[in-house]
Amino acid sequence: MMFVKIELKQILRSHWMQLVAFLFTFVFVAIIVIQRMALPDVEGFTRQTASFLNVLLFLLPLFIITIGSMSIAGDIESGWFSLLKTYPMKIGQYIIGKYVAISLAFLLVVLVAFGVVLAIGGLLGGVQLPIILVILTLLCIFIFVSLGIVLGAVAKTRLFALALSLVVWSFFLLLISYALMALGAVVAGHVLQKLTIISIHINPVEWLRFGYFIFTNQASVLGPAFYGVTRFYSSTLGLVLYVVVTLLWILLPLMLATKFSKEVTQR
């Protein structure tokens, strides 16, 4: 617990986290002000909700994996990790402590951003944040903090951690989508459909976006080609599988990070 408190204080004092908090608050407030003044109230999946979702799934993973990976790699590079090994603390406890501290820091950032949005939205006539959007924001933090930690354990230096984080972020946010669009020109439609379904499961960003559409009953925006998979995930068994896959995205990177960190201690 003491280790978590120390790490949390260090992260919150970081200028990176302060800039992230300012950026998210500014962007969300801008979305509220512009769309509240320009667009009428609409029920369902509105442009305002879509903007929130896109900003969350585009910017939040970038900052989480970069800050998370550099936090771990910075400890290894600076020698702080070697010093911690002299204390009666296991590698698993170190990884979990880092995970909890970074997750709490980003939870505070999102809480501040959402709080300011609700306050200013109230002055403009009221604004609603769907509960599913809030839950998926939490899942986004939990998943990408885990990915950031394993990247930092692999990189071992802050510069390499930053570069590796940008590559992974680009892969999830851009390269997979571009690859599917390129394949769409040379493969049959049913093959592309299966590849798209696979990419949803191996891409945490699309996995969270898919979950939002499923659990807000907006799966129709995915089109009739995905009726079968959306119908399955709308069932109880589908919900259980969604939870299992999400937990795997959180737990597997932490297990790998523990393994890589143990290899560092053996050198």
pLDDT at residue 196 above 60? yes
* pLDDT band at residue 264 under the 50/70/90 scheme: low
Q: What is the CA radius of gyration of the chain?
A: 20
pLDDT at residue 148 above 90? yes
Token reading at 196: 């798209």
3-state helix, strand, coil in the chain (%, to 5): 85, 0, 15
The more confidently predicted of residues 20 and 46 is: 20
| Distance of alpha carbon 209 from alpha carbon 200, whole angstroms | 9
- Residue 265 has a pLDDT of 58
Within 13 Å, how many C-alpha atoms sit on residue 174's CB side?
7
177 Cβ contact list (under 8 Å, min separation 6): none
| Distance of alpha carbon 210 from alpha carbon 204, whole angstroms | 10
pLDDT at residue 149 above 90? yes
| Distance of alpha carbon 39 from alpha carbon 37, whole angstroms | 6
- Residue 213 has a pLDDT of 87
| Distance of alpha carbon 138 from alpha carbon 246, whole angstroms | 12
- Residue 92 has a pLDDT of 85
- Closest among 61, 56, 39, 68 to 117, alpha carbons compared: 56
pLDDT digits (tens, 9 = 90+) for 220-241: 777 787 888 888 998 999 999 9
Q: What is the pTM of this model?
A: 0.89
- Characterize 244-257 residue by residue with b for buried, 16 or more Cβ atoms within 10 angstroms of its Cβ, and e for exposed: eebeebbeebbebb
- Residue 160 has a pLDDT of 92
Residue 6 CA, chain-centre distance (Å), reads 23
| Distance of alpha carbon 54 from alpha carbon 120, whole angstroms | 20
Token reading at 218: 């907006």
CB of 60 closer than 8 Å to CB of 140? yes
- Residue 47 has a pLDDT of 65
pLDDT digits (tens, 9 = 90+) for 22-41: 888 888 777 777 766 655 55
pLDDT digits (tens, 9 = 90+) for 66-105: 999 998 988 888 877 777 777 777 888 889 999 999 999 9
pLDDT at residue 45 above 60? no
All structural domains of the chain with their residue ranges: 1-266
* pLDDT band at residue 125 under the 50/70/90 scheme: low
| Distance of alpha carbon 226 from alpha carbon 222, whole angstroms | 6
* pLDDT band at residue 21 under the 50/70/90 scheme: confident
- Residue 201 has a pLDDT of 92
* pLDDT band at residue 266 under the 50/70/90 scheme: low
